[in-house]
């Protein structure tokens, strides 16, 4: 079995967010970059667990980005994986990213492709579905559990108000979220081994971006809290109606 895990670089959740060039670009100076948590904690770790059950399985990692992504993909290798690939292209267009990954996946003939459900910076949730469409294979999103039996997978996914259990034949693309696996921390052996594991830099294929970012905007500052005595219901109703405008 061949598994491909998609890895993306995101700002640390504690990073101070700012923009530059008239709010058209993210200010990355001084930002600590991490593996997107959904990719690391759930997609990658679940793939590692599958490989541990089947030592003959091959686990590859892939990312799309510039040379500054190398440290991130090396950390992912330290957690587990046989080799990594970086497609040398900087873009924020989801279709372009998906097309690049799908091109490599098609040549690699992978049985299973894992992605995180979304990145924590763009929250697009689009990459997995687009990869599956490009490869013309099944796609299951928001997976919380994944069990493999030969070439058939049973996937539990989150839906509005509950859960849904699907059965799919491989190959397939699965987007992963909380519940798929437990977080792991690279150990010293994994960190040392990652230094010698292959990291291939691949040329991007020609694609035409379908979207581009016009501008970024920070959310409005939070308003102050008004405390209303529990016995003053009329004042509470007035505030909800006149100021909050929710009733």
* Residue 244: inside a domain: no
- State how far the Cα of 39 lies from the Cα of 222, in Å rounded to an integer: 31
- State how far the Cα of 100 lies from the Cα of 40, in Å rounded to an integer: 20
pLDDT by 10s per residue, the chain, length 247:
999 999 999 999 888 888 888 888 888 888 889 999 999 999 999 999 999 999 899 999 999 999 999 999 999 999 988 999 999 999 999 999 999 999 999 999 999 999 999 999 888 999 999 999 999 999 999 999 999 999 999 999 999 989 999 999 999 999 999 999 988 887 788 888 888 898 999 999 999 999 988 998 888 887 778 888 888 989 889 888 888 788 8
* Residue 246: inside a domain: no
* Residue 162: inside a domain: yes
- State how far the Cα of 43 lies from the Cα of 71, in Å rounded to an integer: 19
* Residue 129: inside a domain: yes
Residues in CB range of 234: below 8 A, 6 or more apart: none
CA torsion through residues 204, 33, 15, 179, sign: positive
Closest CA to 8 of 87, 78, 99: 87
* Residue 34: inside a domain: yes
What pLDDT was estimated at residue 17?
83
What pLDDT was estimated at residue 69?
94
What pLDDT was estimated at residue 193?
82
Measure the CA dihedral 39/40/44/45, to 10°: -140
Supply the CATH number for residue 146's domain.
3.40.50.620
* Residue 247: inside a domain: no
Domain that holds residue 109: 2-221
pTM of the complete model: 0.86
E-strand stretches of 72-138: 83-88, 112-116
State how many domains the chain has: 1
* Residue 157: inside a domain: yes
* Residue 241: inside a domain: no
CA distances in angstroms from 218 to 11, 101, 213, 221, 225, listed in the order given:
15, 31, 14, 9, 20
**Residue 203 backbone phi and psi in degrees, to 5:** -75, 145
């Amino acid at each position: 079995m061949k598994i491909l895990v998609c890895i993306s670089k995101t700002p640390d959740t504690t990073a101070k967010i700012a923009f530059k060039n008239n709010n058209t670009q993210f200010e990355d100076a001084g930002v600590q970059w991490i593996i997107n948590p959904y990719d690391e904690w759930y997609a990658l770790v679940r793939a590692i667990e599958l490989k541990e059950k089947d030592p003959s399985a091959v686990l590859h990692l892939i990312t799309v980005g510039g040379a500054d992504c190398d440290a991130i993909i090396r950390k992912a290798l330290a957690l587990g994986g046989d080799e990594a690939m970086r497609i040398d292209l900087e873009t924020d267009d989801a279709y372009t990213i998906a097309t690049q990954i799908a091109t490599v996946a098609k040549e690699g003939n992978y049985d299973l492709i894992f992605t995180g459900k979304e990145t924590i910076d763009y929250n697009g949730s689009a990459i997995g579905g687009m990869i599956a469409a490009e490869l013309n294979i099944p796609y299951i999103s928001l997976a919380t559990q994944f069990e493999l039996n030969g070439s058939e997978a049973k996937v539990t996914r989150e839906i509005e108000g509950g859960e849904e259990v699907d059965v799919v034949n491989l190959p397939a693309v699965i987007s992963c979220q909380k519940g798929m696996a437990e977080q792991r921390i690279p150990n010293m052996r994994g960190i040392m081994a990652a230094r010698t594991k292959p990291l291939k830099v691949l040329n991007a294929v020609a694609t035409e971006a379908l979207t581009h970012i016009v501008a970024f905007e920070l959310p409005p500052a939070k308003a102050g809290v008004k405390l209303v005595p529990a016995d003053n219901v009329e004042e509470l109703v007035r505030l909800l109606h006149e100021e909050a405008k929710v009733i």
